[in-house]
Structures are given as structure tokens and as C-alpha cells.
């Protein structure tokens, strides 16, 4: 893992609107050349569209609890109902910014369970996160392999707010063919001393790197990262789930 060359990050050009059932692997591989050494980072919204996770708010019946929280937070009760249905716990309520920070059914801590309405063609609709983004990453990776014979690693990401700092940063919510953490703990540094705590969130960093090649308005959900082959594995691996802190390891719930 030493000498490193140049990393190239390129948004996949000409990505059309994604419909339910779209084969994203084919859509990506028709638009950019891929090798076994590449990594594709894909933003959550198109995966949600392909997986029919777009919900029309007029189909949602808010519970009494959703109505109450919606009043408290000045939010649409139907959106709050969806947030609650996609969550296992409310971590914080932020009335000033009208957000609920929750633990999602997947185990992510994020605002509004990752539900939002940006870049959706139909008004009155919102996108939920994919049901299992690790599984989605494995499926899209297989779709690419079926279409092309090559097997790049796959990352699905979303932009999450952070504690302590303004602004959102892209983090991985699913991956295949790559480990989320590059663990150096116990290995020697350049001076021969043990790196006691170094455990790098490489897949989150790649998700962030991909995002700087995107525009929020230009329709570039898929990004190819090249030059990171030391991280790509043939096996799909365990996905992003091991990266999430268990409640007992987490000081900030």
C-alpha cells in the first residue's frame, strides 16, 4: 500500500432520468468504460428511484404521533409519518431547523431518516433510502459484470449532516467489493512506532471524493474513481454495516 499514482475521478456523462426497475449497472456501463480496478460511486437517489422507493405523500396516513411531532417541528405530517416508519429511534429533535435526527431501520444516524424531495420529477413525492443498500450495491455490481464482464467495486452514498460542523458530507450507505475501513491499528508508522488508533474510513472518503465531481443540478449521480485498485476486492465483502457504531460503542446518541 505504499507508492501511489494519480487518482482520477470522473462523473459518468449523460445519465438520463431513472425509472422504477431501471438496470443501473447497464445504464452506467453503457456510458463510461470500466475495468475490474475501478470503483463506481452512486448517489442514493437514483438507487431509490430504480427500487421504487419514491412515495407519493397523498398516499400516507399520519399517525397521531406523527401529527403531534409535525406540529412541534413545523413539518408535513405525512413526511413525519414516513420518517417514523423508517426509524427505530428518535435521537434528537431540532425544531429550529424542522428536522428529526433518527436512527434508521438500517442503523444510520441521520436527519429525517434520509428522506427528502430534492431532484424528484413529481412534486408531492419523497424518496426513501433503499431497503438494504449493501444488497443494492451487490446487485448493481452484478448487473455491471453481466453487461460487461468486469467487476468494479460499488459504493452507494448519501449526504448526511454531521455533529459539530456545518454542511453535509457524502457517506457510504452501501458497498460491494471494498471494505469500508482500512485498519492500520497495531501496524508500524514510518518511525517504527505502532499506529494505535488509525482506522481510516476509506469508503466514506471515496464517497466524499466522488461528490466533488458532481453537481447538485447537472444529473451526475454516478462517478467513476480510478487509481484505487489496492482497495478493490473480487469478493463482495460484508458491506457498510460493520462501519456503524453499535449503541454501546457510541458516545453521541
Nearest distance in Å: CB 15, a second copy: 11
Kindly give, in sequence order, each residue whose CB lies less than 8 Å from that of residue 77, ignoring residues fewer than 6 positions away.
Answer: 62, 66, 67, 70
Nearest distance in Å: CB 128, a second copy: 17
Kindly give, in sequence order, each residue whose CB lies less than 8 Å from that of residue 183, ignoring residues fewer than 6 positions away.
Answer: 198, 199, 200
Per-residue x/- marks for a second copy, 43-82, CB under 8 A? Answer: ----------------------------------------
Does residue 165 touch a second copy according to CB under 8 A? yes
Nearest distance in Å: CB 64, a second copy: 25
* Helix runs in 103-132, H state only: none
Nearest distance in Å: CB 36, a second copy: 18
199's enclosing H/E stretch is strand 199-200
Placement of cell 430504480 in the chain: 50
Rank residues 19 and 146 by Cβ distance to a second copy and give the closer one.
19
> What residues from 208 to 227 belong to the interface with a second copy (CB under 8 A)?
208-209, 211-220, 227
Sheet architecture: strand order including 109-111 = 87-94, 99-104, 109-111
Rank residues 116 and 132 by Cβ distance to a second copy and give the closer one.
116
| 39-43/153-161 β-pairing | parallel
Rounded to whole angstroms, the Cα distance separating 117 from 6 reads: 36
Rank residues 56 and 118 by Cβ distance to a second copy and give the closer one.
118
> What residues from 171 to 190 belong to the interface with a second copy (CB under 8 A)?
171, 180-181, 184, 187-190
Member of 38, 76, 204, 236 binding a second copy (CB under 8 A): 204
Rounded to whole angstroms, the Cα distance separating 28 from 144 reads: 8
Does residue 241 touch a second copy according to CB under 8 A? no
Half-sphere exposure of 171 (CA within 13 A, CB side): 17
Does residue 32 touch a second copy according to CB under 8 A? no
Rank residues 76 and 81 by Cβ distance to a second copy and give the closer one.
76
> What residues from 77 to 136 belong to the interface with a second copy (CB under 8 A)?
92, 94, 97, 99, 101, 108-109, 111, 116-121, 123
Q: Site size for a second copy, by CB under 8 A? A: 81
Does residue 10 touch a second copy according to CB under 8 A? yes
Rank residues 100 and 140 by Cβ distance to a second copy and give the closer one.
100
Question: Which among 235, 171, 230, 159 is positioned nearest to 203, based on CA atoms?
Answer: 171
Does residue 34 touch a second copy according to CB under 8 A? no
- Residue 166 to residues 87, 160, 162, 169, Cα–Cα distance (Å): 23, 11, 7, 10
Placement of cell 462517478 in the chain: 223
Amino acid at each position: 500500500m505504499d507508492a501511489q499514482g494519480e487518482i482520477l475521478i470522473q462523473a459518468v456523462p449523460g445519465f438520463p432520468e431513472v425509472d422504477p426497475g431501471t438496470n443501473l449497472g447497464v445504464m452506467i456501463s453503457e456510458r463510461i468504460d470500466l475495468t475490474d480496478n475501478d470503483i463506481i460511486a452512486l448517489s442514493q437517489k437514483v438507487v431509490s428511484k430504480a427500487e421504487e422507493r419514491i412515495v407519493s405523500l397523498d398516499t400516507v396516513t399520519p399517525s397521531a404521533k406523527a401529527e403531534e411531532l409535525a406540529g412541534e417541528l413545523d413539518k408535513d405530517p405525512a413526511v413525519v409519518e414516513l420518517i417514523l416508519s423508517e426509524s427505530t429511534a428518535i435521537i434528537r429533535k431540532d425544531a429550529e431547523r424542522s428536522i428529526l435526527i433518527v436512527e434508521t431501520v438500517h442503523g444510520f444516524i441521520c436527519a429525517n431518516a434520509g428522506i427528502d424531495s430534492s431532484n424528484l420529477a413529481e412534486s408531492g413525492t419523497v424518496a426513501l433510502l433503499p431497503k438494504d443498500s449493501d444488497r443494492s450495491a451487490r446487485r448493481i455490481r452484478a448487473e455491471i459484470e453481466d453487461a460487461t464482464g468486469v467487476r468494479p467495486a460499488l459504493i452507494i452514498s448519501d449526504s448526511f449532516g454531521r455533529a459539530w460542523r456545518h454542511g453535509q458530507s457524502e457517506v457510504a450507505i452501501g458497498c460491494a467489493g471494498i471494505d469500508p475501513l482500512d485498519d492500520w491499528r497495531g501496524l508500524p508508522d514510518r518511525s517504527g512506532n505502532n499506529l494505535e488508533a488509525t482506522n481510516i474510513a476509506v469508503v466514506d472518503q471515496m464517497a466524499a471524493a466522488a461528490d466533488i465531481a458532481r453537481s447538485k443540478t447537472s444529473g451526475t449521480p454516478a462517478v467513476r474513481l480510478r487509481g484505487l485498485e489496492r482497495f478493490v476486492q473480487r469478493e463482495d465483502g460484508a458491506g457498510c454495516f460493520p462501519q456503524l457504531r453499535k449503541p454501546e460503542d457510541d458516545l453521541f446518541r
